[in-house]
Chain A
Amino acid sequence: MEKIINITLKVWRQKGPKVKGDFETHRLEGISGDTSFLEMLDILNEQLIHEGKEPIVFDNDCREGICGMCSLYINGHPHGPDDLITTCQLHMRHFNDGDTITVEPWRSAAFPIVRDLMVDRYAFDKIIQAGGYTSVNTGGVPDANAIPIPKVDADEAMDSASCIGCGACVAACKNGSAMLFVSAKVSQLALLPQGRIEAKARVKAMIAKMDELGFGNCTNTRACELECPKGVSISNIARLNREFLTAKFND
């Protein structure tokens, strides 16, 4: 049986980065449980446009959980109450008839609000630009099995690489720390031979950038891994600490 619900939305509205924002309340009737959260916002926006009002601004792109563009802090959780999914994969069946749903933007000093629910996550790109890549010339394409990579390492590297850079870890963190994101980006390269060559310079540059951009200091509360839509583990943060400390002590 299809679930049909009526809901009240409390949405954060803010005209610009420096303007004071506030919550706006809207009623939505007859929402199907199969509607995704973003589709529900689309329906609301259509309603607003018909009423001659400004639609709500929110980030999104792929709508299938792979691009990391969608955000939204829904009822006390980044990406909503369901585990291991992004907001675009969240469906209205997780809510009940008569619910009031609070929707807020990511809140962290390093992610300033652009408008309404959209925040500026350019800080993440700057961290990647500081060193989250390999620039070594690997020559012609080698045989796939020329450099054996242990299965555990390959698996862990893949797990780290599943980070989509959404920023939910920062949004969930009471310290506004970006350590889970940075650790995933450092780990995916540090675990593989191609990434080892520049590993020391990379970790130092990325951490320096992260600190410079005003992200906080991780205190291991684990809020990040509990809210990460891709289940990136804090064992990556331990690896990041290890990589950074050995790089610095070897200087």
Chain B
Amino acid sequence: MYWLFNSSIGRKFIMSISGIFLVLFLLFHLSMNLTLLFSTDAYDLICEFLGANWYAIVGTLVLAGGVIIHIGYGTWLTLLNKKARGAERYASSNKTKTEWAAKNMWVLGFIIFLGLVIHFWNFWFNMQFAELIHSPNAVTQGSELVIALFSQPLFVVIYLVWLVALWFHLTHGVWSAFQTLGWNGKLWFSRLQVIANIVATVVMIGFAAVPLFFLITK
């Protein structure tokens, strides 16, 4: 199994699998967010399920592992690729008409990571983490936090920027993950790109719906 770390395709395989795992998590997370549009009670129930319970904690740890692997490998690969490219740049620049996102995955990933830090500070820190350290300020009514946060336009804007970066990241990442796994061909290429665009758009609109809804209704 050593080849997973010391071969180019092995490393990319890990990027691909961890990426797919994170996309699946996003879809799962999204399905829970959307309940908030229909019932705050249902949402708070979910928040309670996912508080400081063993299964939620195990889930969080697995997820953290996925995030760390994806970011770690992404950074490592980016550094290796910079080295492979060499120090010299083209004076006439690079005019190949590639997708913008494809060439900026690390930067997009970094923006997503910054968003993640803010997101954790907004929610996880006040909820699961606060519960874990038995803080008296632990919030169990998740809906209160959400509504309070998204009545502030600043945070809505921050979250929207975050989601746009995520959209770009996914339009490339999703089809790219399949390409890396070897699931591609002349026919599947356009299909996978369409799938990637759909997934990215569903994720973006779905996650944007909650902040926008509370900004407008409150």
Report whether chain A binds chain B.
Answer: yes
Interface centre among A208, A214, A216, A235 (most CB of B within 10 A): A216
If A211-B8, A217-B81 touch, whether A76 touches B95 (CB-CB below 8 Å) is yes
Query: What residues on A are CB-neighbors of B6 within 8 Å?
Result: 211
Taking beta carbons and an 8 Å cutoff, which residues of A are in contact with B? 10, 12, 23, 73-77, 81, 102, 104, 107-110, 172-177, 179, 207-208, 210-211, 214-223, 226-227, 233-235, 237-246, 248
Contact-residue size bin, chain B (C-beta under 8 Å from the other chain): 35 or more
Query: What residues on A are CB-neighbors of B176 within 8 Å?
Result: 219-220
> Do the beta carbons of B90 and A217 come within 8 Å of each other?
no
B9 at the A interface (CB under 8 A): yes
B217 at the A interface (CB under 8 A): no
- Complex: A243 Cα to B10 Cα, angstroms: 12
If A207-B9, A223-B98 touch, whether A108 touches B85 (CB-CB below 8 Å) is yes
- Complex: A101 Cα to B94 Cα, angstroms: 14
- Complex: A214 Cα to B86 Cα, angstroms: 10
If A102-B91, A107-B89, A244-B9 touch, whether A175 touches B182 (CB-CB below 8 Å) is no
Mark B174-187 against chain A: 1 for CB-CB distance below 8 A, else 0.
Answer: 01100111111110
> Do the beta carbons of B8 and A73 come within 8 Å of each other?
no
> Do the beta carbons of B8 and A207 come within 8 Å of each other?
yes
- Complex: A5 Cα to B11 Cα, angstroms: 50
Taking beta carbons and an 8 Å cutoff, which residues of B are in contact with A? 3, 6-13, 77, 80-81, 83-86, 88-99, 102-103, 105, 172, 175-176, 179-186, 189
> Do the beta carbons of B81 and A238 come within 8 Å of each other?
no
> Do the beta carbons of A175 and B7 come within 8 Å of each other?
no
> Do the beta carbons of B84 and A221 come within 8 Å of each other?
no
Besides the contacts A216-B85, A235-B186, what 6 more A-B pairs have beta carbons closer than 8 Å? A73-B90, A76-B93, A104-B90, A175-B85, A177-B8, A234-B184
Q: How far is the CB of B162 from chain A (nearest CB, A)?
A: 22
Query: What residues on B are CB-neighbors of A208 within 8 Å?
Result: 7
> Do the beta carbons of B172 and A220 come within 8 Å of each other?
yes
> Do the beta carbons of A216 and B81 come within 8 Å of each other?
yes
Among B8, B89, B98, B185, the residue within 8 A (CB) of A210 is B8
Which residue on A lies nearest to B9, using beta carbons? A244
If A76-B93, A172-B94, A223-B96 touch, whether A245 touches B81 (CB-CB below 8 Å) is no
Among B12, B96, B184, the residue within 8 A (CB) of A218 is B12
Among A12, A222, A235, A246, the residue within 8 A (CB) of B99 is A222
Q: How far is the CB of B71 from chain A (nearest CB, A)?
A: 15
Among A207, A214, A239, the residue within 8 A (CB) of B84 is A214
- Complex: A221 Cα to B102 Cα, angstroms: 5
If A108-B85, A177-B81 touch, whether A239 touches B182 (CB-CB below 8 Å) is yes
Which residue on A lies nearest to B11, using beta carbons? A217
Q: How far is the CB of B109 from chain A (nearest CB, A)?
A: 12
Which residue on A lies nearest to B187, using beta carbons? A235
Which residue on B lies nearest to A241, using beta carbons? B182
- Complex: A211 Cα to B11 Cα, angstroms: 11
